[in-house]
Amino acid sequence: MAALRYAPALRRFAASHVNSKSLRRGLASLKQPTSLFAPLDTFQERHIGPDDAEASKMLSQLGYESMDAFVADTVPSKIRLSTNVVDNSSIPAYSESQLYDRAKELGGQNKSFKSYIGMGYHNAVVPPVILRNVMENPAWYTPYTPYQPEIAQGRLESLVNFQTMVMSLTSMDIANASMLDEATAAAEGMVMAFVTSPKKRTFIVDQGVTPQTIAVLRTRAKGFGINVTIGGAVALLEDKSILADVCGVLVQYPDVDGNIKDFGKLAETAHSTGALVVCATDLLALTKIKPPGEWGADIVVGNSARFGVPAGYGGPHAAFFAVTDKLKRKMPGRLIGRSRDTQGKPAYRLSLQTREQHIRREKATSNICTSQALLANMAAMYAVYHGPAGLERIATKVHKFTEVFKSAVAGFGYKLKNETFFDTVTLEVSVAGSADAVHAKAEAAGINLRRIDDKHVGISLDESVSPTDLVTLINVFASAVSKQTVALNELHEPEVNSIPAELQRSSEYLPHPVFNKHHSETEMLRYINHLAGKDLSLIHSMIPLGSCTMKLNSTSSMIPLTWPEFSSVHPFAPYDQVKGYHRIIKELEDDLCKITGFHAASLQPNSGAAGEYAGLCVIRAYHESRGEGHRDICLIPLSAHGTNPASAVMAGLKVVPVKVHPDGNLDLGDLQAKAEKHKDNLAAFMITYPSTFGVFEAGVQDACKIIHDNGGQVYLDGANLNAQIGLTNPATCGGDVCHMNLHKTFAIPHGGGGPGVGPICVAEHLAPFLPSHPAMPVRGEQSIEAVSAAPFGSASINLISWAYVKMLGGKGLVDSSKIALLNANYMASRLQGHYNLRYKNENGRVAHELLIDLAEFDKAAGLKVTDFAKRLQDYGFHPPTCSWPIQTCMLIEPTESETLEELDRFCDAMISIRQEAEDIMSGKQPKDNNLLKNAPHPISVIASSEAEWNRPYSREQAAYPLPWLRERKFWPTVSRIDDAYGDLNLVCDCPSVEELAH
């Protein structure tokens, strides 16, 4: 029966793949190596879905005899590269095994030092059950942001665990589902304080705040005109000359030197003036010290990485952001809340989505698009696995080890600068002659200490410190003053507690059932996989999201990520210890410059939106260097990504919208008029290319010339770079700066909503202004200050893109772009007879994505885009990007990773849904009770009783509309979720014992 059921599909496949000699030759070309001695494990054929025969079939259906002819009709001749600037001579291709060997070689150039540097970064211990089953599991790292909650319930539940963990440990009312890093979270807190009191422009930063956070605050404050004042926060709040202008204050708790201070009175003083208190803190410390919510903090931020996320030379790490109830609707980032589905069943979803920057655009004060979902899930799983009792044991050990260390070195004559601490002490080391003498002894022992000045060093301990490590650390300080070294049996458990009694935690934390029952590995493994089973990811089917480029995240590129020589490196380790990392960073920067045609790159921005912001800050710095700091107008097309206007506002620019024609092309006349009108103040023009409407606009160079002629710079959004590589590039198009989404074009996993990386490449005249960093200045005097907490942003996952580029090589990268264009045009060809294909060029071609308009179905049958999206879930697909860039459209992007068979499966599903819509329009199905309006159909609905099944279609039609679904069915776990109910009844934490009892 199965053979009969699939017979039509098999005949279609055979007819299209076997009859042509050229197709057979195409298949053979993939199978036969060029030389007996050439590697067999080449990456290109693993990454690119269609083989030569499938590509030939698609070209033939589109009417082309060659790929070159197809590209000529798709990419405008004016911008096509005349020479192969990206090929295997410029970027040689590695096989998978060669890449493995190369990564091992470079990893060996990173010295294996034990770092006690602290400053907000720790050596985390990743439980193996989480490492293997979350971090290394494509079911967790390949899903998309949970905008389709019915097929993302597992990830959403885990993110609610993260929110609950943060709320409980901080004693705050509500927390979001993660931020990029602690420094940018603190900057968001500063902006919230400013927006809350817009007439006040002074933001006080306590001198105990980490230097990287201060640097990011300064960068962010500039665009908003906020005055950042640094010093003793308590004393500054007593300064009547500035008190009336204070909108907020930031404190670190414990501070960078380890001090635990009582900020209760500071909070009272700040609140008496209407200012908000932002507290940067540490989750593990909060198991021992009084939480900020109990002494008056309004906003609490920090880094959750020590909850089971590797250091990774700085990231990616999930920051957290928690606020009081009165601020919840102003909170940036993503928030997960509980709602219900149409059956009344509890379900999770993204809440308050109207706060997203793509809706608020230039009115937004935050441009957050990517969170750190994968890392937040790891941190949440860490808390679930250990539970409150386990966290208490870990915190107690860390604190007592620090007490042991303090007592031992005090006996050697060192003076403690901070009498109160949790895990960090600062020592005055003149007894050893100088700090350099101590650092020299530490280096000889393979240890990094925090470098403060010539008289002080800092030491931070963490969960990874073993008794042997502790003895080695103590003996560094013994040898520095020629004292007798100690043995482990000479150390004793401390009887003192350096946390002041009034600041010791007395309230309970994490009482929720989820944190108190998954402590065996068996139960933890089942819980992780139970949640994973609720989520659709790339392990199930294609995720054809326009502008989001959900392509293969290869296992071979992921493998080096968790090697200790990369994962355990502290971001502030001395440069000579990380030569391997810097070689990889340099090679990736160089390759990105070859791909974009630009002169220099920075990998510091740790999201696409952060890249936009950094690029605009570089443009502003360039204008200022020329005495034209008054240039503050940014022209942005109405078709632009929503983060574009938000990023411009954050950089201190004023947004002027530019019209687009009905065919999706930029209105060059309107651009010319507005550029000339604002020529004295024109700073920048932001454009996405190919356009957000999915076409290569022929006039892009003309648009860029208009901007340059009127004194501005061109920012070219690289979100759609996947369509360009080797065919054109941002520099050729006329840009001056672009960002790239490594998590899109260069295959970093999306992780269910992050991590992302958004490096920028710039023309030579902008290179001097690329971001620097206070811990390790990596640029010159004209550099803008830091835009992220770590010098190289989310450094560890840059390994993935480095590996991706190296294994594809120049030719593979170009072929990937060609196939991405071909796949999209093939899908457009199959769907355009059934749906209204909104935009195409004069040759009838789209770029790497296509926009179909569903407006006709609303008029004829009352069907919205959402109805089509939810019905696609029944077919086992993640819906395309919905209602953007046009409210009535779907933006579809297949990528190069999907085979012809998968493209056809998706097209068959869309065509089948089109027929279902036709049945509604013709009256065969009622408008208010049909397959689309009732979608999706989870098992709970399909398995309902006969009495409950009141639908004018069969259960089989609902669950198995196409034959192959009987073999490959992904089931949504809930029916359609009620968004309005979730926003009106905002609940963003885990159910309590009492709630579960009911």
pLDDT in tens, 801-843: 999 999 999 999 999 999 999 999 999 999 999 999 999 999 9
Which three-class secondary structure state does DSSP give residue 30?
Answer: helix
Q: What pLDDT sits at residue 244?
A: 93
Q: What is the DSSP letter of 599?
A: S
Asked if residue 813 lies in contact with residue 745, where contact means CB atoms within 8 angstroms, the answer is: no
Q: What pLDDT sits at residue 590?
A: 98
Q: What pLDDT sits at residue 980?
A: 80
Q: Give the Cα separation of 797 and 561 in Å (integer).
A: 7
Lowest mean pLDDT among 33-47, 547-561, 884-898, 944-958: 33-47
For range 855-880, the mean pLDDT: 97
For range 580-601, the mean pLDDT: 98
Q: ω before 936 within 30° of 0 (cis)?
A: yes
Q: What pLDDT sits at residue 353?
A: 54
Q: Percentage of residues in the chain with pLDDT exceeding 90? A: 86
Q: What pLDDT sits at residue 360?
A: 58
Query: For residue 435, which phi and psi values (nearest 5 degrees)?
Result: -65, -35
Task: Tell me: pLDDT of 83 over 90.
Answer: no
Q: What pLDDT sits at residue 365?
A: 67
Q: What pLDDT sits at residue 728?
A: 97
Looking at residue 239, its amino acid is D
Q: What pLDDT sits at residue 33?
A: 55
Q: What pLDDT sits at residue 778?
A: 66
The model's pLDDT over 712-732, given as tens digits with 9 standing for 90+, comes to 999 999 889 999 999 999 999
Q: What pLDDT sits at residue 10?
A: 36
pLDDT band at 983 (very low <50, low <70, confident <90, very high): confident
The model's pLDDT over 349-394, given as tens digits with 9 standing for 90+, comes to 998 754 444 555 656 667 777 789 999 999 999 999 999 999 999 9
Report which of residues 415 and 11 the model is more confident about.
Answer: 415
Task: Tell me: pLDDT of 679 over 90.
Answer: yes
What predicted TM-score, i.e. pTM, was given to this entire model? 0.95
- DSSP H helical ranges for 608-734: 608-625, 643-650, 668-677, 700-709, 730-733
**Positions of E strands within 712-835:** 713-718, 737-740, 760-762
For range 218-223, the mean pLDDT: 96
Q: Percentage of residues in the chain with pLDDT exceeding 70? A: 94
For strand 760-762 and strand 737-740, is the pairing parallel, antiparallel, or unpaired? antiparallel
Q: What pLDDT sits at residue 22?
A: 39
For range 287-313, the mean pLDDT: 98
Q: Give the Cα separation of 346 and 343 in Å (integer).
A: 9
For range 73-101, the mean pLDDT: 94
Asked if residue 213 lies in contact with residue 786, where contact means CB atoms within 8 angstroms, the answer is: no
The single residue listed with the structure tokens 């510091």 is 604
Please write down the HEC assignment for all residues of 906-950: HHHHHHHHHHHHHHHHCCCCCCCCCCCCCCCCCHHHHCCCCCCCC
pLDDT band at 23 (very low <50, low <70, confident <90, very high): very low
Mean pLDDT of the chain: 93
> At what angle are helices 900-921 and 798-831 packed, to 10 degrees?
50
Q: What pLDDT sits at residue 494?
A: 92
**Could you write out the DSSP letters of every residue in 150-213?**
GGBHHHHHHHHHHHHHHHHHHT-SEE-S-BS-HHHHHHHHHHHHHHHSTT--EEEEETTS-HHH
Q: Give the Cα separation of 854 and 877 in Å (integer).
A: 18
The model's pLDDT over 731-790, given as tens digits with 9 standing for 90+, comes to 999 999 999 999 999 999 999 999 999 999 999 999 999 999 988 766 688 999 999 999
Asked if residue 378 lies in contact with residue 158, where contact means CB atoms within 8 angstroms, the answer is: no
Q: How far apart are the first and last CA of the chain?
A: 46
Task: Tell me: pLDDT of 21 over 70.
Answer: no
Looking at residue 578, its amino acid is V
The single residue listed with the structure tokens 């807190």 is 189
The model's pLDDT over 267-279, given as tens digits with 9 standing for 90+, comes to 999 999 999 999 9
For range 194-218, the mean pLDDT: 96
Lowest mean pLDDT among 13-22, 175-184, 633-642: 13-22
| Cα angle 698-809-579, degrees, rounded to a multiple of 5 | 115
Q: Give the Cα separation of 398 and 609 in Å (integer).
A: 37
Task: Tell me: pLDDT of 28 over 50.
Answer: no
Task: Tell me: pLDDT of 120 over 80.
Answer: yes
Q: Give the Cα separation of 945 and 927 in Å (integer).
A: 24
For range 248-263, the mean pLDDT: 98
Q: What pLDDT sits at residue 685?
A: 98
Q: What pLDDT sits at residue 20?
A: 39
